[in-house]
Structure 1
Amino acid sequence: MSLVPMSDILTKANEEGYAVGGFNMNNLEALQAIIEAAEEENSPVILQASEGAIRYIDMEYAVAMAKAAGEKASVPVAFHLDHGGSFEKVIQCIRNGFSSVMIDGSELPFEENIALTNKVIEAASAVGVSVEAELGMLGGAEDDKEVEDQDATLTNPEEAVEFVDKTGVDALAVAIGTAHGVYKGEPELDFERLDNINQKVAVPLVLHGASGVSDEDIAEAIELGINKINVNTAFQQAFTAKTRQVLEDPDVYDPRKICGPSREAMKEKVIEKIRLFGSHNKA
């Protein structure tokens, strides 16, 4: 099947009370690991590329790989821009074939975030592309951008209501205490805030920075309305740990014998997350 809008996947997840993984593709092996895991688990999947990944892979290569995966896959696959930083970048991705985009206006004043999101929605909806936006700001590192913990801001539930009412966005990423990258301590999620937001808005909610969050906290977040969960760092760690292990043998030099086992290690981690999120057999 061809790539599908993310909204097709998340509407069902929202109705049935589970979450779907937003898994980042940083190279071919990551793409293969994500798609193979989703097919084995009969799970829909949101294949993501950040601006940094697009620069690394090249736009044309990234889109061609994702389209090939979507056409070959037996499960629904959305191809999503993760943390689009500008209207221009989002439009470039839409024109090149992304089926979903995120516009991240979380650093902007509230009204400017709304205006930018609506500008993206107007362009995206005309071609059937779904849109994710963010309200509140996570700490930690995402690509080359780092937000200090003291600059992170949690999502205001009343602002979330106004934001959704004024934009009609397909999915809303909320800040409830998670962070991008590797955690410096134990993450403390504000479940009361999440529950409040979920009671007030009807759109699917998104949790970024899930690597390092306990399985128990993830399960509670899903119970309280999270329908999309982004994972990247945990997969990178699994891939790299296996690569280091393989390279302990000085006679190994074939990239396929290095990257192949690393891809399998990442695939196992993707399967683990799919089962945790509850999207197994939901394709």
Structure 2
Amino acid sequence: MSLVPVSTLLREAKAGGYAVGAFNCNNMEIVQAIAAAAEAENAPVIMQASQGAIKYAGIEYITAMARVAAEMISVPVALHLDHGTSFAQVMRCIRAGFSSVMIDGSKHALADNIKLTKQVVAAARPVGVSVEAELGKIGGTEDDIHVSEADAFFTDPDEARVFVQETEVDALAVAIGTAHGRYKGEPKLDFARLEKISSLVDIPLVLHGSSGVPGDAIREAIRLGVCKVNIDTNIREAFVDRCREVMTADPDEIDPRKILGPAREAAVELIREKIRLFGSSGKA
């Protein structure tokens, strides 16, 4: 199956009351893990690559691996740019074959964020590529992007309404209390704010920084309109923890396959759990 736009998956998720998992991939083993988990759960899935992942693996490798993975399994797969920060970066991904992009103009004033997002939508939509944008600043670190706790702020519902009307974006990432990276304590999500945003915009909402958010909070966010849930940190933890276990058990092991293979299986287990949590199992 060829790569599909994220908008196609999220429209179905919104209608069905579930969310599609968006899992960050940095290497071949994690791409394989995402594909294997989605196929095992018969679930639609979003593979996404940040600018850091693209810099590490190379855009050609990322695109080729995702395309091969999509062709080898029977469930729909989207390849999505996570946190693109410039029009040039977005266009590079579209030309490479990404089926969906995110333009993160959240560091800009509302008017400038709208202007940048409209520019991306105008370029992406004619070639069948969907667009996610962000309003409000989600704290934490995502590869090269860092937002301090002091600089983070929640999404204003009225601004969200104006933003969606002006840009006609396909999905909106909202800041309601999550953060990228590891949490120091349990995050407290502003569900009242999320409910208000959902009542004012008629597009799928996106929850970033979802690793470490309790399951019941994720389910409530989905009930209130979140249709795409991003997971990165949890995958890294499962993958690297299993690598450490293998190398601790046998410090003389030098075969990468015997280290990365078990790590890949740990990632599969984690991703399958998330897919079931999001309610997308069996929805392919």
TM norm structure 1: 0.99
* Match runs of 1:72-87 below 5 Å: 72-87=72-87
Letter in 2 for 1:93: C
* Match runs of 1:234-253 below 5 Å: 234-248=234-248, 249-253=250-254
Deviations 1:71-115 (A, max 9, x none): 222000000000001000000000010000000000000010001
TM norm structure 2: 0.99
> Partners of 2:145 and 2:129 in 1: how far apart?
26
- Displacement of 1:153 after TM fit? 0.7
> Partners of 1:29 and 1:73 in 2: how far apart?
16
Gaps of 5+ in 2: none
- Displacement of 1:252 after TM fit? 1.5
Aligned to 1:22: 22
Letter in 1 for 2:253: V
Letter in 2 for 1:124: A
- Displacement of 1:144 after TM fit? 2.1
SS state at 1:22 partner: strand
Letter in 1 for 2:181: G
- Displacement of 1:126 after TM fit? 1.2
> Partners of 1:19 and 1:108 in 2: how far apart?
28
> Partners of 1:174 and 1:121 in 2: how far apart?
18
> Partners of 2:160 and 2:72 in 1: how far apart?
38
Gaps of 5+ in 1: none
Aligned to 2:131: 131
Identity over aligned pairs, percent? 61
Answer yes or no: is 1:256 the counterpart of 2:257: yes
Superposed CA RMSD? 0.6
SS state at 1:219 partner: helix
The list of structure 1 runs, each at least 4 consecutive aligned residues, that deviate by more than 6 angstroms after superposition, is none
Aligned to 1:232: 232
Answer yes or no: is 1:180 the counterpart of 2:196: no
Aligned to 2:56: 56
Letter in 2 for 1:278: G
- Displacement of 1:145 after TM fit? 2.2
> Partners of 1:103 and 1:73 in 2: how far apart?
28
SS state at 2:82 partner: strand
> Partners of 1:245 and 1:72 in 2: how far apart?
30
> Partners of 1:235 and 1:70 in 2: how far apart?
20
User: How many correspondences in the alignment?
Assistant: 283
* Match runs of 1:93-132 below 5 Å: 93-132=93-132
- Displacement of 1:34 after TM fit? 0.4
> Partners of 1:112 and 1:9 in 2: how far apart?
28
> Partners of 1:125 and 1:70 in 2: how far apart?
22
SS state at 2:35 partner: helix
